[in-house]
Structure 1
Amino acid sequence: MRQAERRSGRARGRAERRGATAARALAGAALLGSALALAAAAPPDPAPLAPAPLAPQGKWVVNYGERGCAMARAFGAADAPVIVAWRSLPFSDRVELSVQRRLGQRGLRRGVLTIAVEGRGDQTVYEAFNGTGDKLRTLRGWTNPALFADLPERAVLTLTPSSEPALAVSLVGTARALAALARCNDDIARGWGIAPGERAAVATEAQSRGSPTRFIGPEDYAKAAVARGELGTSAQVWTIATDGRVSECRTVIPSGSEALDKAGCDAARLRARFTPAVGRDGLPMTSHTTQVIRWELPGAWQDDPAYRAYVRQRREAARAEG
């Protein structure tokens, strides 16, 4: 009898323990269910807030240069200003946009820059670098000048680099400065003996025969520049003759290496081929184009994943075009 009672007691104990375990499991499930319900009901994490736009310190300053024109303006605090600059070139469908600010040394980096202004946007690659021993960091990229056409007085420009801090600035008074920049470029063109209204006389623009990236390649990298570790980005104005060849080359934004700038012009004259522009009279005509050339040494730049993906897509598109 006592053995039966002991067996019965042990059975009741096991049942009670199983019941307690089941109760804890049910309680845990209820708590988990409540947590899931709360998680489902909670709003998603908010998107990162855009930076507050920095106010300008003064007016835009338009600089007339022998090679080209630029305009710049300081924004933000007087003791740590952010300098934003535009540099446009005659006969170019791109404008160089650059930012200089105190960020410390971060090395040579390349990424993808997202540009937004008044509902318009663009994505382009950027380069970010410091001067020698300089804590001022420069970021620059090339974008479509149409983004800045007909700007309202209180427009805001937001720049979001893939590997650098985002930035927003107020563009108050920018439309007048852009008009002055356009007049400056017309004056530069006249100084080169080129009519500023040349494009108005063109019925069909000159078209490159193949991708322009094939006109200048690694074999054109000057050996002296390689030995000195020279690299950089330049812009050149090419004169396209009626036979489709580059008859004249003018470096308007130097790379920082005379050897590389000369190599770019030499390669353009040797290898670049175009279908010439056609005037409104139906005849071939001399025209001009601006090309941006990036001289790179392996391993010099830190390329983020966004940059590598962007470049890969562009190369695939160029191959598809033939």
Structure 2
Amino acid sequence: MLLRLSGLMAAIGCSSALLANPAPPLRPIDSWHLDYGDTQCSATRQFQAASGPVTLGLAPTTSGDSYRLLISVPRRGPAYAQRAMGTIDWGKGQSRVAGLYFGAKAVPVGVYQYRLSAADIEQARTASAVVIDADGSQSYQFALSDMAPLLAGLADCTQALQQQWNLRGDAALNRPAAPVNDVNSLVGQVDDRWDRSLRHPLSSARFQLLVDPRGRVDGCDVSMSSGDALVDAGACEALRDHARFTPATDRRGQPTRSVWTSNPVSWSLASNTFDGGCTKMSSDGRAILNGCERPIIRGLQQMPPPPPASPPPPPSSKS
């Protein structure tokens, strides 16, 4: 499983069914369920298919500038997350989107996840249906209703989340959070063996982290993508596990929650050769693997340097 099972993933994974190439749109069988989470706002809804309900999910980032759209299917997803290109059409033409397809250990489901801009989601406000072509092999069509109040509810939740994490309240902070370790060293180093697993060069990326009063990372959003969904997700996982901060303090000098945004992370690539898709991620989210070779990078951190060379033996004395 690539990402930790959040409340949204748990809701999506419990009840869903696969429908290949649907003709009429799937109809909802319940209302939208809006979850005001501690680190994430999310909404899920079930739709009726011949073999059971399919679940559609939406989750905005803390900043509200992008969303994750998720669809679950009842077959067990891959143990290692895979890239999944797709298209989404809200009735105004198809848009190509990059995403992931992954499974979960606890439940036999597979989940497609795509990242959309807030502008893309705005098309859903008046849409009567959405057609999603997942990875070119599965097509899903959902009849939409109540989208305007849903998006308004997600916006209200996001605003409350921003206040909770002091994203829009710098005046309430005496001191912002500051990283203790080098964030770039956690996510920005890619060696030659990983180069060969990529399909295209990486762009600079930017990450937005929810830092709790202990200085630990409670959540990670991608505010500017590297251009590769697998790399983005793996980098967020590495930051959650390894990034440490001196926490922000409030006006009373007490540690408090805050949001920290990275500078653009430039990826260090040693070559421009790409293998066309051998890369997968381990089920614990900690290792990028090359399906054609062997593990490449543990935790997306810089590979350890080679051991120093042994000193040459002293010259033998002549008798």
Rounded to whole Å, the distance in 2 between the matches of 1:133 and 1:287 is 31
Q: Say if 2:297 is the partner of 1:297.
A: no
Partner of 2:148: 175
Offset of residue 289 of structure 1: 4.8
Unaligned runs of 5+ in 2: 1-20, 172-182, 192-205, 222-232, 247-257, 266-284, 293-319
| Residue correspondences, number | 202
Q: Aligned-residue CA RMSD in angstroms?
A: 4.4
Change (3 A) 1:253 1:70: farther
Indicate the residue corresponding to 1:195 in structure 2.
Answer: 168
Map 1:209-248 → 2, pairs under 5 A: 216-218=187-189, 237-238=208-209
Amino acid of the structure 1 residue aligned with 2:60? S
Larger Rg, first or second structure (1 or 2): 1
Query: Hey, what's the Cα distance between the residues in 2 that align with 1:173 and 1:157?
Result: 13
After superposition, the Cα gap between the structure-2 partners of 1:111 and 1:157, relative to the gap in structure 1 and judged at 3 Å, is same
Residues 213, 87 of structure 1: alpha-carbon distance in 2 compared, 3 angstrom cutoff: farther
Equivalent residue number for residue 158 of structure 1: 131
Cα pair distance change 1:290/1:186, threshold 3 Å = farther
CA distance in 2, matches of 1:187, 1:116: 30
CA distance in 2, matches of 1:157, 1:250: 34
Post-superposition offset of 1:95 = 0.8
Q: 1:116 to 1:150 in 2, by over 3 A?
A: closer
Q: Mark the CA change 1:67 to 1:133 in structure 2 (over 3 Å): closer, same or farther.
A: closer
CA contact (8 A) 2:220 2:240 kept: no
* One-letter code aligned to 1:83: T
Q: Is the 8 A contact 1:121 1:147 kept in 2?
A: no
> Which of the pair is proportionally richer in helix?
1
Deviations 1:155-203 (A, max 9, x none): 21111122541111011111211110010010011111232799xxxxx
Tell me if 1:59 matches 2:26.
no
The whole-number CA distance in structure 1 between the counterparts of 2:145 and 2:263 is 31
Query: CA 1:118 to 1:237, structure 2 compared with 1: closer, same or farther past 3 Å?
Result: same
Secondary structure of the 1:166 match is strand
| Cα distance in structure 1, aligned partners of 2:88 and 2:138 | 13
Contact 2:217 2:240 in 1 (8 A): no
Whether the aligned pair in 1 keeps the contact of 2:43 and 2:57 (CA below 8 Å) is yes
What pairs with 1:1-322 in structure 2 (closer than 5 Å)? 51-77=23-49, 80-108=52-80, 109-132=82-105, 134-149=107-122, 151=124, 155-195=128-168, 216-218=187-189, 237-238=208-209, 250-253=217-220, 260-262=238-240, 265=243, 289=261, 297-299=288-290
User: Residues 107 and 154 (structure 1 numbering): CA distance in 2 closer, same or farther, change over 3 Å?
Assistant: same
Structure-2-length-normalised TM-score: 0.51
Contact kept in structure 1, 2:208 and 2:220, CA below 8 Å:
no
Shift of 1:132: 1.9
Identity %: 16
Label 1:296 to 1:190 Cα distance change in 2 as closer, same or farther (>3 A): same
Q: Say whether the 8 Å CA contact 1:122–1:143 is kept in structure 2.
A: no
- Report how far residue 130 of structure 1 moved: 1.8
Residues in 2 aligned to 1:111 and 1:121: alpha-carbon distance in whole angstroms = 16
Q: Which amino acid aligns with 2:59?
A: R
Cα offset, 1:102, TM superposition: 1.1
**Aligned amino acid, residue 298 of structure 1:** L
**CA–CA distance in structure 2, aligned partners of residues 290 and 57 of structure 1:** 41
- The answer to whether the 8 Å contact 1:90/1:189 transfers is yes
Contact 1:80 1:102 in 2 (8 A): no
**1:259 positional shift:** 7.6
Q: Which runs of 4+ in 1 moved over 6 A?
A: 212-215, 254-259, 290-295
Amino acid at match of 1:252: G
Letter in 2 for 1:165: Q
Give the distance between the partners of 2:64 and 2:261, measured in 1 at CA: 6
Question: Closer, same or farther in 2 for the Cα pair 1:182/1:152, shift >3 Å?
Answer: closer
- Cα deviation, 1:119-156, whole Å, max 9, x if unaligned, reads 04422222112212632111111112212316465521
C-alpha spacing 1:165/1:258, structure 2 compared with 1 (3 Å): closer
Structure 1 residues 213 and 99: alpha-carbon distance in aligned structure 2, compared to 1, 3 A threshold: farther
Name the amino acid aligned to 2:132. Answer: L
2:44/2:58 contact within 8 Å kept: yes
SS at match of 1:118: coil
